[in-house]
Each structure stands twice: as C-alpha cells, then as structure tokens.
Structure 1
Amino acid sequence: MKRNERILAQLEMLSVSLSWNDLKKNGGITALQIAESVEIQRNNVSADLNQLFREHKLIKINGRPVGYLSLATAERLLGTLPEQTFFDSLADFIALEPHTLNTDEEKTPFSDLIGADSSLRNQVEQAKAAILYPPNGLDTLIVGQTGVGKTLFANMMFNYARHIGKYSEDAPFIVFNCADYYTNPQLLMSHLFGHVKGAFTGADSDKRGLVEKAHRGILFLDEVHRLPPEGQEMIFYLMDNGGYAKLGETERTHHADVLIICATTENPDSSLLKTFVRRIPIIITIPTFEERSAKDKIDLLRFLLTTEAHRIKKPIEIDTEATKALIGNTTYGNVGQLKSNIQLVCANAFLHSLREEKLSIRFKDLPAEVKNGFFHLSGNRVEMQELSDQLQSDVIVMPDGKNISLIKDDAYEPDFNLYSIIEDKVGFMVDQGIKDEEINRFIGIDIDIHLNSFYEKFQNNTQSREKMLKVINEDILNFTENIKSMIEESLRKKLDERFILAFGLHLTAFLKRNKEHKIVRYANIENVVQEMSTEYELSLQINQMIKTHFSVSVPMMETLYLTLLINSLLKDNKSQRVAILVAMHGSSTASSMVNVVKTLLGESNIRSIDMPLDLSPKKVLDDMRTIVREIDTGKGVLLMVDMGSLTGFGDILTEETGIPVKTIDMVSTPTVLEAVRKATIMEMELDTIYRSLKDFRGYDSYLEKPLGTSTALTTATHLDKPTAILSVCTTGEGTALKLQSFLGNILDNMGRSDIEILVMPLHEVAQRKEELERYNIVVSVGIANPNVGVPFIPLEQLFDNEGEDIIAHYFTAFNSSIQQQVNKPSMVLQMSEESLNEFLTYLNPSKILPLLRAFIDDIELFEEINLTNGQKINMMVHIGCALERCVLKETLTYYSKPSPSQLSKVVDYQTIALLFSTSLQIKLPDSELFYLMDMIENVKIQN
C-alpha cells in the first residue's frame, strides 16, 4: 500500500466514531494525530493530506491546526455528502449540522441492520469508509465468532455500494469458502483464478476463475484463515495491483477491479500471514451476541420471530420468561444459534396450536435445554435487569407487512417449509384415527430430525468433503455426488457418505486400470443380472454416464461388478455395531485408555473425550452430542464414564439426538476392552452389552496377594516408615486427585490421620520406585494395578461395593489395636451431593441428602434388599431430580401400564415418601414412584 493510501486509511479509522460533540469540541483529525498513528513524519503527512484534498478524497477544515474528515464521516454527520470539500473554518462546517433530517434520504441498507446505530455503529462506519474510499474501496477483513453475522455484514457492504452508486445493480458479489479446497492448492488456484487448457490432467478447455467473475464487484472470501500461505500470497498480489495469472500461465497478464472482503473466526495475527494482514487497511470486528446490548438482543429475537410469523401466517406471542430463556441460551452459537432455537420452539408451539388463532410460546413448554438459558442468565443480575427494563410485557409479533430479508440467499434458511410438513402430517394422522398424544410425540421427533439434519449439514459436509478430496480428485467426486443423487431419486432411498467414498474409490481405480489397459476378471458374478435386476439397470445407466463424462469404454464385467457394489451399498448395514464413547475427567485419561484398547483390539467404532477439570460440563455435553451423531451406525452408543456430571449425560443425549445411549460409570481399561470385544467381535445389542458390563469386574482377581502374604506388610523395616495408600491414574490428574479427597474422608471417619495418600501417574510408578520405598504402602487404589506388591482396589470395587469396608479391613488388619467405628455412608453422601450439585437448580443438595438417605433406608427395609454404594448414589440422584421436577411442575409421565405388583405397593411407597411432604412440602406423584419401582426391580434382577 502506498504512503498516501495508508494515510487516508488511517484518517478513515480515526474519524469513524467521531460525533458532532467531538467535532465541536476538538475539530477534525489533525496531521499530527495521523503522523503519530502511522509513524510517518508530520510534514510528509501534511503534504499527502493536501494532495488527497486536491484529488477530492477528503474534507479539509481550515484553522489552527487544520482539521480533516473522511468522506464517509462527513456523510454520516450531515446525512449526505457536502457539495464542497473545503471549509474556511470549523464554524462553517458545523453550520451545516442537520436539525431535521429527511428519513428517506438517510435510509441506507445498513439502516435495516439491528444495532447499526448502537452496538454496530462503529463497524457500520468502518464499512461505509471502506466502500467510499476511491477509486475501488478498501479491502476489508471481518473478524468474529461463528454465527455473529459476518456473511450478512459483507452482504450489507455490497448492498451499500450499490445504494450509493459505487456499483451497478448487476454488479457481482462472489462468495468463496476457503475451507473447501484448502488441502489442494492447485484446485484452489484454479477456482480463484481459472486455468488454461492443458494446465493439468482433465483441463480440456479454458476456465474462468472467481476473480474474473467478480470484476467490478466484490469477492467475499469466507474462512480466509483456511487459505494456505501460497493462496494468501496470490490474493495479496491481486490486492496490490489487480494483476493475476491463470493456472498454467507464467505471467500475470490479466487484470480485475475487485474489492476483497475476507472473514475469519480466528485471530488474524496468529492465523494469517503478516504480509497478508498488512495489506488489509480495514479490520472490522463483529461483537458476539453476549456483547450486544439488551435492546439489540430483544430486537434480534423479535426480527427472527417475525420471520416465523410470516411463514405460518399467524401472530406469535412469547412470554418474558421464554424470551429471557432463548436469549440466555445463546451462549456460544451467537445469532445463528438463536435462530435455530427460535425455529425449534416455534415448530413445537405450532404443533400444539394448529387450531388456535395465534401461536403462543410459554416458558413451561420450552425444551429443557432452552430452559437452562433462563437459569444461566439469572447468574448475571445486571443483564437480567436490563432485559427486564426492555421487556415490559410479553413480546407479540404480527405476520402482516413486508417481511424484510437482509440477505438474498441465506444458506442457513431451510429449503423446506416445516410448518407445511407439520400440517400435512398431522392431517394424515388425524384421518388415520391416531390419538393426539401419539401425534404430538411422533411429530415432535420429526421436528427435531428435520431441523437437526438441516443444521448438521453445515457442520460436517465441508470437513468430510475435504477428507475425500485427499483420496479422490474433484472431478470424480463431483461425478459421484451426481450418481448418488440419481440413485436416491430413482429408488427413493437415502444413501450415506459411504456410497460416495466407496463408489469414488472404485471409479478412480477403474479409470486408472483403463488408462493402463489392464483388465480384471471378477469371478462368479455372472448371475447378478437375474438376482439383482434393479441394481443392474442402475449400473447400465451409470456406465453410460461414465462413458459420456470420461470418454472411456466400460466392459460388461465392470458393469456386473458395479451391480454388486451398488447392491452392497444399498443393503441395510448388517455390519452395524454398537458404538462406544469413553469420557473421563483429566486432560488425557479417556484418550489414553482408548489408545490402549485400539492397540490391543485394533481400530473399532470407539471414540474418547477428555474432560480437564477446568472444562465446563456444558462444553463436554456439546462435544458428546456431536460425536454420538457421528459414530452411531443405527445400534446405539455405549457411553463409558468415570463419575460426576458425566454419569447423567446418557439420558440427555438420548432425548436430544433420538439415539439410544446407555451409560456405564466407574469405567476401567478392562471394562472398555470387554465392551469393544462384545460390540465388534460378538456383535451384541446395546442392552445386552450394558447389562453384562454392569457387574463386570475385570479379567483377573482384583486381590492378587492375600493380605497376610504381602511383602509390603510383613517386612520388618516397614514399621519405621510412614504408612500410605497409593492412588494412581493414567495422567496424575482427575481421577487420582478426586480419589485423594474421597480416601481422605474415609480415613478421617476411621480416625487414621497417620496415613498418607500418595498421588502418582501410573507411568511414573516404576521410575519413582525409590520414592515409594520410603513409605509403607498398604494398598493401592486407581484405574489400573501399579504392581507395587500390595493389594490393588480398582475404582469399580471401591465405589460399586462396600469400598469403605474394604479400606477399613486393610488398615484394621494392619494395626489390630485400632478399633474405629466406620461411618459407612460418608462416601455415598459425598458423591451423591457432588452429582446433585450438577443437576439441581432450586433444591439445596446438602439439605435434602439426609431425607434422601432416610428414604433409601426405608425402601431397602420395605423391599428387603441391600443396595450397593453405586446403586444408592444412582437412586439418590434420581429421587433428588424427581423432587426438583416436582418444584418445576415437570414430573415424568409413566407411559407403561402399572403392573399389579406396582399397584399393590404404591400406597406403601406413598407412605415412605411422606417425609418429603412433611419436610419440603413436596409430594412425589405416583408416576415418579412407578419409575422408582422399575429401578428397584432392575436392581433385584441384577442381584
């Protein structure tokens, strides 16, 4: 960029937020201010400013010192560009201050942008300055998180350029996502700049690039951080002088007048070449949804609701609590997430108000995930008060008037009318005599499927396509995608990405063999014509398409083999297996465990999620939701976790994804090995695997040596060493640290303050042998046996059985003179309280735990069973959540018909539950008690 261009760009930046009051008080921007900003001598800055003034590129205001304004700032302050560019004094310019502006003259495309005069004011002024800069505007970088509206803002800049006459009405606005071809620089260059005939294999003719198509318009490069360094160099050369070369040419003989607008979610300083960033004079940062004002948030919500009102042709009314919940739930996806949530709640509300004149959205009807937004928001009293001040009553939007669309082609707008789908399906089901309750349930699932599948396509398609382009060239991939669409249309059957990959690889291999004149004979496939007539007819069509597109002949044997391939890919996947997801606390606990399993059993459908202690459960749940959808093959997912909030995520994932998820807690490496073996080798069903693993305790005896034979206990020299427990995990974090706290409580209850707890990573045990020898280690505890010559207690045994008795047994045997009364429920209560803290919002876990314990004790007496610690924890958490559901008036509905046994017991259960009515004024309904009876029955079966 030339020196005078840098100076003008800096003037734009310094004056972008200048107000009338600022101007009256301080005058315009001075040469000294600009000189200090760009580190150029003041006299050189003055000379360039005067030259720019003579070229009518800025406003000059005479005085001491002389002040300058950008044309965009002058237009903003006056409402229109002044006829003159020189003023004898500041007073002469201020005299033009408009007192009553004509709104029609003021209105620009940015006027419809929510926040243009508040939280986006500076960004809008920067955008106007970039567009107004002569002759072709200033290249711009838009920075912001996913969903803040970067693409929309770029569209607004283009519309503004046409509005002021900078571009003609038919000027091009070309969008290119740099992520599409970032792994293939050759394809990238071909798409951006075009290629000449013969530039590469398959280049049969010249091709225009996007730069050429964007001539005298705007080229919008989205996700520009995915552009490889060589791609960035090509672009900044274009920015410098407008010259470029097509792929296959040696000289830059082509020229294009193109304004480049880029967008990124990353930090430009760390994700882009410094030489590239230096060439972009205007950087616009779009604020996140949380950074927007309360008024902007409500206006955005109102605008999105209005869009839905136009779709359904009904007024929409939403109460203040639901409004706050939707706003509070928008924590990471910004406006895009708000839009998705609004479409979901509107679709659900529409289903329940088909015969109503208006659509009503009430807080009590919101999905649980959206409701959580209200509680998230309640933690910020300032924002809650600001929203309350803006929301004096329920929000009501009407479908009348013109529905304003700020962007011509919004990729995030569904290409289907969900409300029409709902109406059609409901009408059909009513005609079939299906009950309202069943209709609501089926259509509710349908809504989730439609919306989730729509939004997921933006999360996964780009990434999977990038992976395929590493092994299949783009021409074959495009052809394969067309074939997939043709088959789906012919058979009315949806194909997954396996088809694209398998067919693409097969076609790649066939074309290579054809080029090398190699013939492959496939044995015993001549009978496929009779057995697979439908697939054979499709193969004939496809082979004709291959002949036409690739100019090759396709032998009959290849047609027969293709028939077999299509038949295989169209079959219901008989190799579907239960998928496994391991999630554990610690920075690498789960991934280390999964890597061990993969090493032993080979690759299988298993994934891991590590949960560092500072990572929020919400982020982990979001990651789980994505992975569960990716790995499910139709037979469900086994979720294997260690403890805490992770144990409660299975039911949430099932509800939100529709995929069956079962949870096994207190996971260990042997447990994961057994799960993978049963899922992949034995191909068991999810429920079968789940039941078999509930009581799995490993492949060997946990106590490898009897207490009396342990060398750690019989060696005389140990008597002079401090007594200790060794707590191990794979990383030294997470589980071992949590165990240290649990074991400390147990030892406190035993009165054993003389026992130390050593925390150590499993892989360091051998190297730190000398350190361990300084202690008399009585027992080791953790996820795997450290083999230090003492009894080992795995987590499963410690928590699922009477772990406190086990610890007490070892230390009582070690020192028989100590006879302490062990308080058995201490660990149960601690773990229950920790889990309830994750799930309860209104009830205080520490207050209700004694009631829960008494309730469980009474249930054990009545049912004549003995619950393990793990079972007690699960029941305490379940009943605690049931009490909270009663507070929220969201108790579960028991869909099954109660058995005679349940009906005979319900009065007794009600009597036992009276302690909650007496102490908390909360009555557990029969439906919740029936679910509890089911849990007790399952326990009896397991026992």
Structure 2
Amino acid sequence: MKRIERVFEYLQEVAKSQDSEKALTATAIADNLGILRSNVSRELNKLYRMGKIMKISGRPVLYKINDENINDKIEIKTVNKINKIDKSAFSDLIGAEDSLKTQVEQAKAAVIYPPNGLHTLIVGQTGVGKTLLAHMMFEYGKEVGRFATNAPFVTFNCADYYNNPQLLISHIFGHIKGAFTGADKSVPGLIESANEGILFLDEIHRLPPEGQEMIFYFMDTGTFNRLGETKRERTASVLIIGATTENPDSVLTKTFKRRIPNIISIPPLAERSLKEKLEIMTVLFTEESRSIKRPVKVSSDAIKAIIGSIGNGNVGQLKSNIRLLCAQAFLNGIKTDGHIEITYQMLPANIKSGILPMSQTREDIALISRYIEKGLYVTPSSKSKLPRESEDEPFNLYQMVENKVNMLKREGIAEELIQQIVVADVNTYVKTFYNQKDDISLSVYDRLLKIIDADMVEFAQQVVSLVERYIKLVSRERFLYAFGLHLSSLFNRIKGKQNLHNALEGTIDTNSIEFKLATKIKLMIEEKYKVSVSKSETEYFAMLLQSLKQEDKSQKIVIAVAMHGEYTASSMVNVARKLFSANKAPILAFDMPLECRPEDMLNQIVEQLQNINCQEGVLLLADMGSLCSFGPILEERLGVPVRTLGMVTTPFVLEAMRKADIAGISLSAIYDSLKNFNGYEHNTLSIDDTNDRQKAVVTICSTGKGTAEKLQNLVIDILIDASMNHIKVIPIGIVDMHKRLTEIGHKYQIIAVVGIKNPHIDAPFIPIEQIISGQGDIILREIVGAKDIVKKDETNIVLKRFCEDGLQEMLLYLNPNKIIDILLKFINILEEKLKLTWDNPQKLRLIIHIGCALERMVINNGLKFNEKNIENINKEKLKVVEEAAKIFEETLQIKLTKDEMYYIVSMI
C-alpha cells in the first residue's frame, strides 16, 4: 500500500470512530503510522490539494477527512489526467515530437515520478531554451495535479552571489537573527518560498561546494536549516530544477550530481532539424508581426541566409536578428499600409554569408522549397506557438532604488555598501533603459504623451535643454524619456503624500555639476508647479544626470614632449601626429627657448597638465639638461605618477604614442618597453621592375587596418569600375612600412601607392586627399591604363563609397544603400540649378547632413531653426532646395520640414 493511501485510510478510520469530529496533527498521524513527520506532511498536502481532506489553520495545523469522502478509496488519477492533457503543456515546444521528444518524456517523468518527482538538471548552451523547459515542466505539473494552481515557481540565478558563498547560502536557505554581522532579524530563504512548488536554480554550476552539500542534504531528507541554526528541523517539499551551460562532470561535485538522477540535455539550435529551425523562425517572425501590427514577407533567399547563419547564439540570437531585420524593414516601408518586406539585399554581411552553406546542400534547398516555396508570409493573426513575453513595467527610479535597498537590507549588507551597490546598479540600468523600447514608429514626445500630460512633457523638454547647455548627454531622447517618467512618479508621490526615504543620501558629490544642475531643476519644478520638493529629490535628479552623462573615454596616459629650442618639440609632435593619424591623442609639446629659465618652463608644464585629465600618469619625453630632471617635481605637484625618458627623437615619440594608444596599458609598461627602443629599422628598397609579376597597388595608413582597409576597398571599387580587377590591392601601416614594401616588391610589381605618406619608391604616389576629392580616381585610372573609359559622372564612385560608409555609421532606420543614389541626384540638381561645382568633401558633408535629416523626418524628430536667423536665409537658394527636395517625396514619400531646408540653405 502506498504511503498516501495509508495516511488517507487512517484519517477515514478516525472519522468513523467515536472521535469523528477529531482533527489530527501531522505529528500525531506520523507517530501512529510510524512514518517520518515530514513525509506525512507532504502526503497530507497532496490530499488537501486533491480535495480529499480539510485543513484547519492554526498552530499546529490540523487535518480531518471530508464527510463526503469518508467511504472513498483513494485513487491517484495522475495517469488519467496525463492522457487528457498530454498535448497542452508541451504542445508549444517546437520539436516536442521530434528532436526534443526524449527530453520532453524525461521532463514529464521528472514531474510525475512518485512520491514527489525527480530533481532535474537541464544542460545546454546559452539560448537553447532551458528556462522555457523548466516553466513548461511547472505548467505540466499543475495540469496533472502534481502542483496546486497557486503553487510557487521560484527562480534564482546562482551567478548573482557566486563570489560570496555565505550570502548565496543565506539567500537559498534563509538566516536567523545574529547569523552574521548585520543580520538583525530572521529571514526565510527561497527553499521556504518555493514550498509545494519548484525552485529553479539557473547557472547552478556557480554554487560553491558547501552550497551543493546543503542542497543535496535537503534533497535526501527534505529537511534543512537556516544559516546560523545548528539543527536541521525545518521541512519543505520542493522540486529542484537546475540549469547549466557547463559539463556537469567538471563543475558539480560527484555527491551532488548523484543526487540529481534526471539530466536533460538540450541540443543547440544548429543541431536541430531544418524543419524545426523553419518553425522557430516562423514563430519569431509572427511575434514581430504582432508587435508592429503589419504582415511580414520574407524572401526565400533571405530565409536561407537567416537559417544558414545560425551559430552559437541559438534561439536568443536568432530572435535578436529577426527583430532588427523587422525594424529595418518597417522603417523602409513606413509610408505604406501593406506588408513589410525583408529581402536578401537588406541583410547585414554576417547574415548574408549564411546562404553559402545552405546553397551547398540539395536536401536543405528541397526542404525549404517544400515548406516555404515562395518565401514566408506571416500576419498578426497567424498562429503562434510560443508564449508571449510580458511587457516591462514603466520606468520608476524610486521603486528601483527602494526594491534594491530592501533586498540588500534583508541580506544584512552594511549601509555604506548598499549605497555604492544601488548607485552602480541604477546607473547600469538607466544607461540601457531607453534602448529596450521597441515602439520605434513613435517619437519620444508621442510616446511620453501616452503616459503623462502634454504640459509635463513640455516642461521635461525645457529641463533637457537646460542640461544640454552644461553637460553632454549619451542621448537626449533617453534622458527626456527617463526624466519625464520620473517627474510623473514625483508628482504621484507628492499627491499621495508618500515620504521619501533617501537611500542615496551622501552618495552624490554636492560639488559636482550634476548636483548643481539638479538643484536648479528642483527650483524650476517648485516655481512651475507651486509645490514643495524635498531636498532629497536633488540626489535622484543628480543620479539621472550622472547615469545619462556621456562618459569620457579618453582617459589615457598623457605624453609631454619637452625640448630646447623655439619650435623643436612642436615640430616633432606635429610630425608624429600626422604619421600616427592621432589628432586627439593626449600629447603636449613644450618648447623651451634657450633664454627661458627652467623654473618658468616647469611652471608652464604644471599649469597645462593641471587643466587636463592625467590621472593615468604622465610620460615626460625630454631631450637633455634640466628638462630631464622635472619628473619627481611634476609627480609631487600634480599628484600623479610621472616617468621620464631622455634623448627623445621623432621615432621615439611615435612609438610612445603607439604604445599609449593601447587600451589598458600602464605607465610602467610603456616606460619599460621604451627604455631599450632604438628606432625603426629602415631598409633601402630595391624593387625589381620586371613585368612578369602580378601588378599591385599599395594603400598606406597609420596601422594597416581600419582606415587602410576602407581605402583598400575604395581603390578596389575604382579598379573594378575600370575593368582592372586583376590588379591586387594591399593595405599596410606606417610601422615597418619600408620592410613591408620590400616584401611586397619581391612578389608583386607595385604600380602605385595610395595613402597618407609618400614612401619615395619607384612608383607613383597618390595622396589620400586626392582620392577623397575625386582627382585621385582619374589619376589612378590613367596609371593602370584605363583613361579611355573615364567619364565625368564616373568619378562619383569614391564619393558614393564614402557617403555609404558615413551614413552606415549615422543612420539606424534608413538603408544607406537605398537612399544614396537619391541623395547624389539631389546634390546634382542643386549644382545644376545654382550653377555651382562642389568638391567631394563638400558633397560628403552635405549628403551626410541630408541623410540624417531624412531619418529625423522618419522618427518625427526634426531640427528647429533659430527664428532670428530666418531673415538671413537666401530666398533664391531656398526655392531651389524646395524644388530639389521634391525628389524625396516622389521616391521615398518623405517630406523635409521648412526648418530642415533652412539648415541646408545655410550650408550651401
């Protein structure tokens, strides 16, 4: 006879006896039946959920049989229930009847296995759906009666406290008063919160060995103790599900792993069948279709590329890729009412390349054709197989701070540490807050109007304008959105007369510009709305300002070059800057005329260094004499580390700049590496000019990467356009330039060099300025013997490439490839009508500005021209711009505002 049946029959016997009204405690039943009290308690709770017995609250809890069940036989109807609902809990899981069939069967067995289920470990890469499977197991348990409908599902990420085992164990098992410093009251843990339900431990491999030991003891006995207790007298009925991305054998103790009999391994998305990949992709596109309330059409080639590009990111990465593609397509078709379209041409390069492996497998191509013959078409009403995610709660800075403070206080964290943690966490959240919003079809203004009054939105804009005069924000829109919502929360607090416990007190520097601005904002609110705002609010305002202030990423070691002579140091630094292409590098030149006193020179150096950020240290490069002895004095007066090197030369300065540009390098590391520097090796070039080698054009920039590779692509475009694509284009950097040219010269015939520095070899040199201006295009065509096919309008290939690159960096919603030809045509119309001829840099500046103006029109966030300057606008030029701008209405259905046209006129 099963234990639950013994307990039920015993209660029936008591009910039929003379003590029919008597209710029993779990302890009394356990004593009479000779069963552990914890096991009896577990069975009594099951019987109560099944409706077989009554529970009488009190201390202790009492149980008695229901009158209608006095003669019933206890029947566990789990099997019948399973047969009825077998297609509900896991029916949304794609692959449940195919590649994940075994995993689903394991999950079901873990839930219904008597008496209390099997503790389970789910293993798989990030993004494969471990959390989703755990939730489905919980829903399945409720459907078969294993869990009550109101049973808890508690989630805990073990990585949150992996570096503090005591705090982690306290979080899981709870602690008593006095268990550790700061524990001023007893606090229950997650085990108690999850009683009669599931505790899901994500990243369970982060549990320390002592934590694993406590959990496997709980698995064995069902008993546990809070941190600080000596006896394990507490009981709970909890099914534990763990999840890990690691190999259990290498990250879990053997004894702990033995306590988890059920290990479910979920395969990565790349290993699942093509049919399942297509189903998952279809579901994700359907979800996006619902979000934007428009049908979505995806071409067959785009589907192949998306499927073929699936990598280690699994479903999570696939979802992000699809969301970005839908956002781009939505904005491309924002002026139309029909479906949005995703084609292969609009995919980014990393996804486009996915079509190659798909095109090599005939079976996959046939399968895609069978399922999605002419592409994919989904609508908002298409059936979705995945549960939808709940929307994020509105931004509430007070709630964020208070929740964080309360949680940390429960953990017994010291007050000073709490303040530091709160400031760091809120900063991190606010920085990413606005980026999480998906409703890109609305401007920030319109989005705020859905939540707060128009008057409050206008006031928030005034505050943003004030702030922008003093500090540079990461994003005006993000600050406007966050501040507007915070303002709404402030007035709700004032209206509800809620007192503010300022958890931020003392964490904000009262001498900072942010705090001073926050004080001014407080006064503005009081004056505008005739309310009294508490002083503590100032720190909340300052918190927002600090969180959304653009960070200074230029903290690098400062190089100070000090040399005798009128212009010696300045000249050397200017040469080094040009060679290194580092106009913003933290390097200063100090020229010391022979009649200048050392004390005056020292004071000049100190004064300039005090006005810049040199906290990472100063590298002083001097030539000789007293300048070499300034180091210790500078270190004392500036309060920063200083290292000095003498006998400075131009290569020495160049190498120092190169080393200082390396992220995270220390002053000592640069100093040690430069002590033995003897200059760059210079090899005399000896290039064999025989013509039996492949021809090559060499591009030179500062590093051979980045800009040099862009220049390489420009030259390749020119050569392809001139039908000279057999010529090799090789990018190199300035460092070891002559050595590299020698190596290239042995293998190729160098017919031209393009770049920032003339290497003075036996080959024509084309400065990068000429390439940018368009003249270099013609010169290069002549060098390679293609001058007979040059036409005037073909010189725009360089301009087009630069414009596309620039717009790619600036535009988020519009596709640069689609609008570039229209922008070039707009410029041509202006040139023709105004009888002007602009060079490529001028055209580039105009095109980038106008491209950004078009995007501003799309998101309803156009610039406002200063009314005072409108009277100075040239009316003839404005008329030409208005005529030319019709091309945007005809081709893109985008109309420039008058203010944006004023700006264009002012630029020409």
Shorter-chain-normalised TM-score: which range? Answer: 0.3 to 0.5
TM-score, structure 2 normalization? 0.47
Considering Cα pairs closer than 8 Å and 6+ residues apart, tell me whether 1 or 2 has the greater RCO.
2
TM-score, structure 1 normalization? 0.46
